[in-house]
Amino acid sequence: VRVYRNPNLPVFVAQGPMNCAEDLRIALSESILSINKAGGNAIYLDLCGPVCDGCGGHPGQLAHAAMAKMAIPSIAKKMGW
């Protein structure tokens, strides 16, 4: 807020394919509710689903492309693009 001087600046909180556990989703949702209750503007992005095709169980090129395809509509809608 101090840097951008915009308390309504959206902050996207993403849960990706490396950890799609329900307990993490609940924790992220509770954090988002707290942030928004305090006047913030946090938005949950569910990016679970793509297969992690990279090294060591991380997302690779295909998974990143799939996550972008999932995220762009939500981000564009929120940002008015």
**What pLDDT, in 10s, does the model give residues 12-55?**
999 999 999 999 999 999 999 999 999 999 999 999 999 999 99
Q: CA-CA distance, 15 to 53, in Å (whole number)?
A: 17
2: pLDDT strictly greater than 70: no
Query: How much is the pLDDT for 50?
Result: 96
**Element (DSSP H or E) covering residue 14:** strand 11-15
pLDDT tier, 3 (very low <50, low <70, confident <90, very high otherwise): confident
Report the alpha-carbon distance of residue 53 to residue 59 in Å, rounded. Answer: 5
pTM: 0.86
